[in-house]
Structure 1
Amino acid sequence: MGLVITELKKRHPELPYFDPNFTGEYPAEAPFTVSDLEEIYPFASKRSKEDKEYYAEALENTHRLQEKERGLYALWQKIIDVSVADLKKNYARLDVTFDLWNGESTVNDLIPGMVDRLKKEGYAYESEGALVVDVAEDSDAKEIPPCMILKSDGAALYTTTDLATIEDREARYNPDAIVYVTDKRQELHFIQVFRAAKKCHLADENCTLSHVGFGTVNGKDGHAFKTREGGVMRLETLITDIDQAMYDKIKANPDIPEDEAKTTAHQVALAAIKYGDLQNQPAKDYIFDTEKFTSFEGNTGPYILYTIVRINSILKRYAESEGAKDVAKLKVASPISKAQTNLMLDLSGFNAMMDEAYRDFAPNRVCAFLYQAANDFNSFYHETKILAEPDVQKKESYIALLKVTLDIFEACTAVLGFTAPERM
């Protein structure tokens, strides 16, 4: 944050936030947009690596902000307001929201008390001017440095706010588990934080602290997107582009009205984005390929939705032909073909798969299950006369199997965060 504030001051020194003698009300409107911030941050980050004085000024501004200097604190609040508003807008397009929108600053007032306690109880001590907590263990295969609580200039760090947040969450919610999902390159940071939290009794001994590290999302050139270096595709642009790609494909069916085409395109786009991301093992890097993610063939979200739509269509046609017959009461008979056996074996593994995916924080297993089951369903569909089956008992067994398949598929897509349209 100090980098952004420093660059804003360089560009707009006339702003009242930088005038220590200003005592009036600060402007209601922020003096920048999200686009401005997206350009400023990588620019300031790059300059700080080349200009020692600039870097030192950024550190000083960070410290002044942590001390809640009036002008910088007001400017910081504008940065937060603009950033969070943009996040909420884009998350809403992904059908994602949070119960709490807390940032690091939420626990700023708790830090002094926590630090005092760690010093008084002998957990924290000074080392080369900084305040640290030893977290190394005899069983460590590699060196684990002490967890730094305060820098030599007294400034707080990510470790400080993370520890204060853990203490606050323990006090408020008494959780059984706390899970952090971040870049896997922060693994050492969380080893230090979790050990310090347990050692200093900030986290209850029965509370499990876990870090799920994810890999980088790469472009087709194989290079990772890096926020600090700029050049990152905005989430808003990504959603819009995939929405448009899916709309173009949906409109290939001239029978779908315009409004329905747009709604359906967005539903399928969400599946393309979420499934495309979650199908990968969390810690592995992957290439974000729009053409691949939006394909209706292969291991993609649109393929899964197309399969669900196909099942729904068959069940709907059966209901229209059979009237009031209750599909839920139909029974699945023993399989009579290899394709049917494969599908039923897939579905029988649903509970175990979900338990394992939950235990290991691995949504990619849900995707793998869905893809295998979808393939086996489509094989069963192509080899079997479902609605045209003259044997009533066989037909009812097929329909019952389709209903079970649909229920399980929809349970999986609900976990992954998307739903199927009525038709595609």
Structure 2
Amino acid sequence: MILEDYLTTLFSQAFEKLSLEPKLAKVQMSARPELGQFQCNGAMPLAKQLKKSPIQIANDIINQVKDNLIFKDVTGVMPGFINITLNDNFLADWMNQMLANSRLGCPKTETPQKVMMDFGGPNVAKPLHIGHIRSPLIGDCLQRVYRFYGDEVLSDVHLGDWGTQMGMLIEEIRKMYPDLPYFDENFTGTYPIEPPVTVDELSEIYPRSSVRCKENENEMEKARLATAELQKGRRGYRALWQHFVNVSIAELKKDYADLDIYFDLWKGESDVQALIDDMVKNCLDNGVAKESQGAIIIPVAEDDKTPPLILVKSDGAVMYGTTDLATILERVQDYQAQKIIYVVDKRQSLHFKQVFTAAKKAGIAPNTELIHIGFGTLNGKDGKPFKTRSGGVMRLSTLIDEAKTRASLREQEGLSRNEKEDIINKVALATVKFADLSNVYTSDYIFDLDKFSQYEGKTGPYLLYSAVRIKSILRKLNYSVSGTLQYKISKATNDAERNLQLTLTQLPLALQRTYDKCEPHHLCEYAYQVAVQFNKFYSESPIATEENETTQKSRIALCQLTLKQLILVLELLGIEIPERM
């Protein structure tokens, strides 16, 4: 039920009757709405081939379709554009088909796949800050969209729990508490159940140890050795490391829950440790990997422009490229993943190029599609990576609190304290999520919480307010969006009503673009256009006071369809609509 596809099929048939190439018959939304609702530009590229003027070819095409009753007007415009305006009755019928359809006319994939979504990617012992927000927001939206389309999706947070930072933490805690049993290689008893540090202490210890290692090469070497011992299975280090992981996961789950984001799997780099030795051996045996200066590498480019992927360092420790490669192996073997999507900062593009190339070269993922969604950075008003007023990096929990302080209520009467808190939470999340997802994901953008919190313009609160307005209209007329649909949509009675109907036809296309390109901004732009067109319709088209019963019922049904669409789109963006605001 993508309207452009339906119209394209009609024009393709006309092209075939004229022995023209049907692939040129594509119909799209008009760039000049004052000339027509849709346009077909297929006559233009045919002029040279047919040695005829584009307008002649356009008129020949028009003669094939002009008598179709779905069109109000089909005209040719110099030099050869075809402008299309639909019949109002056809447009209303299309609305009613969407309203009656459980998926609002949105298609499902014809070939469902097993898809792994790798997003979040937090490091153990590091609290989430504002720089971590893009991956979970984009990833969560994509997992919702893929599930809606019928794919079997597994999302994995993929913890950073196995790198040098673990060795740094171990050495720092050794300095703080040297008598703990974790550091005694001869200890054979049971290690304490309670962790020696809290998550807040870990968040202080890690930066301190990181600075120490950067300033002192001897300290860094100790951290590297501790990491290697951990990866080799040293008992005390493993027990201490497990404390790091447990307290970190507990805190991370709270932070992600505050964003209404959940993962199917809470695995980390460490989970594939058992696969690495055999994987490296197979790569060596097959000639895919080779030794180089004491390390084991996989060359990934014949021209040497792309650095090799280091599997094992000269000291025997593995790199995170190694664990990423082993993770692909696990996902293909254990989960039969047909597509793996990584939502990770675009500054990691080279890394994923290396890993993906190595995976194909080694035969680890021969038939699995590997995709990197490389997003841009979130910056402050100065254009630099976002900082707090004191110059530090803002904690994610602090960001959400800041958004809540700006989430004002439009109506206060009759609301309990819990209801007010619920509304404020939903407005705050809508503010943050829409602000991020509305950008093309590859772009860097300025994070301006004051601007994003406004109830006017392209913001989350504006969308919520528009949806709540529709809920209020229906509630006052004793109708609901989820109840039985009693009325049908009639042909438009004014331009605002017609433009809203036309905009609502675009939902399946916006979703298809999001799904095909992994780009949430298409949904955001669509939701915003729906809200804008609805508010124009509302201001120009009386509903409660409309005297013509048929017109009133039609407008009620149009409100129901608009609200259904907004609920669906915002849900896919991870945004919930309150009953009141």
TM-score w.r.t. the length of structure 1 is: 0.92
Q: 1:258 deviation in Å?
A: 1.0
2:213 counterpart residue number: 48
Q: 1:363 matched to which residue of 2?
A: 520
Map of 2:461 onto structure 1 = 302
Q: Which amino acid aligns with 1:119?
A: L
- Per-residue CA distance 1:256-305 (angstroms, 9 max, x = gap): 22111011111222211211221122122223322223222221111111
Aligned to 2:331: 169
Which residue of structure 2 lines up, in the alignment, with residue 224 of structure 1? Answer: 385
Percentage identity across paired residues of the two chains:
46
Number of the residue aligned with 1:100 = 265
| Whole-Å separation in 2 of the counterparts to 1:287 and 1:64 | 43
1:84 offset after TM fit, Å?
A: 0.4
| Residues in 1 aligned to 2:189 and 2:349: alpha-carbon distance in whole angstroms | 45
What does 1:265-344 align with in structure 2 at a 5 Å threshold?
265-319=424-478, 328-344=485-501
> Which amino acid in the other structure matches residue 525 of structure 2?
A
Q: CA–CA distance in 2 between the matches of 1:346 and 1:401?
A: 12
Amino acid at match of 1:262: E
Aligned partner of 1:415: which letter? Answer: L
Tell me by how many angstroms 1:50 deviates: 1.8
The letter of the residue matching 1:403 is Q
Residues 51, 419 of structure 1: alpha-carbon distance in 2 compared, 3 angstrom cutoff? same
Q: Map 1:12-411 to 2 at 5 A.
A: 12-136=177-301, 143-205=305-367, 207-225=368-386, 231-246=392-407, 249-250=408-409, 253-319=412-478, 328-411=485-568
Give the Cα separation in 1 of the matches to 2:446 and 2:171.
34
Shift, 1:252, TM fit: 6.4
Contact 1:16 1:22 in 2 (8 A): yes
Decide whether the 8 Å contact of 2:411 with 2:580 is kept in 1.
Answer: no
Moved more, 144-153 or 251-260: 251-260
CA contact (8 A) 2:332 2:338 kept: no
- Alpha-carbon distance in 2 for matches of 1:392, 1:252: 31
For 1:199 and 1:421, the matched residues in 2 are separated by 51
For the residue of structure 1 that corresponds to 2:296, the secondary structure is: strand
Paired position in structure 1 for 2:4:
none
Taking a change above 3 Å as real, the CA distance of residues 46 and 338 of structure 1, as seen in their structure-2 partners, is farther
Helix, strand or coil at the partner of 2:478: helix
Relative contact order: is structure 1 or structure 2 higher (C-alpha 8 Å, sep ≥ 6)? Answer: 2
The alpha carbon displacement at 1:234 in A equals 1.8
- Which protein has the bigger helix share? 1
Counterpart CA distance in 2 for 1:267 and 1:390 is 37
The reply on whether 1:8 has 2:173 as its aligned counterpart is yes
Equivalent residues of 2:500, 2:530 under 8 A apart: yes
Task: Give 1:2 deviation, angstroms.
Answer: 1.7
Count of matched residue pairs: 411
**For the pair shown, which has the larger CA radius of gyration, 1 or 2?**
2
Runs of 5+ unmatched residues, structure 2: 1-165
Contact preservation (8 Å) 2:510, 2:523? yes
Runs (5+) with no aligned partner, structure 1: none
CA distance in 2, matches of 1:239, 1:381: 32
TM-score by length of 2: 0.68
Contact 2:386 2:447 in 1 (8 A): no
Do the aligned residues in 2 keep the contact of 1:251 with 1:261 (CA within 8 Å)? Answer: no
Q: CA deviation at 1:351?
A: 0.7
**Aligned partner of residue 321 in structure 2, secondary structure:** helix
Q: Is the 8 A contact 1:18 1:72 kept in 2?
A: yes
Aligned equivalents of 2:471, 2:385: Cα separation in 1: 40
- What does the per-residue CA deviation read over 1:54-79, in whole Å, with 9 as the maximum and x for residues that have no partner? 11111111111111111111111111
CA RMSD of aligned residues (A): 2.0
Q: After superposition, what is the alpha-carbon deviation per residue over 1:193-249, rounded to whole angstroms, capped at 9, x for unaligned?
A: 0111111111132x11000011222233433159xxx93222222223323432xx2
Aligned-residue offset at 1:416: 0.5
Distance (Å, rounded) in 2 between the aligned partners of 1:51 and 1:411? 54
Label 1:39 to 1:241 Cα distance change in 2 as closer, same or farther (>3 A). same
CA distance in 2, matches of 1:69, 1:250: 56
AA of the residue aligned to 1:285: D
C-alpha distance 337-252 of structure 1, shift in aligned 2 (>3 A): closer
